[in-house]
Structure 1
Amino acid sequence: WGGGALGQARVTGADGRLQVDYDRFVRNLGESTLQVRFPPGSAHEGSIRLSLSQDYLADNEVMATTPDPMSVTAEGDRLVYEFGVRGDGPLTVTFDLRPNSGLGVLEATVGGTSAKPVRIRQLVYP
């Protein structure tokens, strides 16, 4: 169930401005990683905003976010993380997560400042 070709998934936004790598299958109370990549040219006024569904984050304990965000704010049904970037470079954000929802399916919408959002689905097993 862990790692490998079947366990890993990658989804790219329709406009190519956002790429998300995640585990398709996660163990309840285990460890999981969600990685979001923005290509060069994604920054707006020196920062990139990344949004994640609040429901998804409520079903996961966020163990770490790398790099540290400048701010985190609630906007409707999502949390928006703002990251500073130097120049016009790329940004990769890694969330170390611990699913705590019990058995079932987790769904999330991941978006960004200049990126069309994508949806992910994960199966949580005991």
Structure 2
Amino acid sequence: MTEYRYTKAERIQQLQLLEQGLVALLPVSVQLGLAQTPHYQEALCQARFLIETGFTQTDLTRLSRSVPDAVSRGRDWESQYLVQKPDGSWGWPEWFLELESRLAPVMRSAETLRMLGYY
């Protein structure tokens, strides 16, 4: 098995993806009044700073861990958010779908920054 470690150029791309994701997430976060909004704003500032000035793996890990999930995903977490629709079925409310569509890429990008590479 061969180990692959991310290059500096790939790390910059990963930071840029996180930056783009946070830019897309922030308006929804503000609109919903999420308590995590200041954390997303700070992470955006930090990502931009690291892109401009350089970084170590410790910096990337610290940034990654500073990005909180806005959704409490403990046991049976889905039941907190499901709503009954007019036809009687259960599904996600529109606000949740919009939030998830913007939050998921941010969380994936943040997680990638914690990884050194892959096999």
TM-score normalized with structure 1 length: 0.27
User: If you compute each CA radius of gyration, which structure gives the higher value, 1 or 2?
Assistant: 2
- The structure richer in strand per residue is 1
Higher relative contact order, chain-length normalized (CA < 8 Å, sep 6+):
2
TM-score normalized with structure 2 length: 0.28
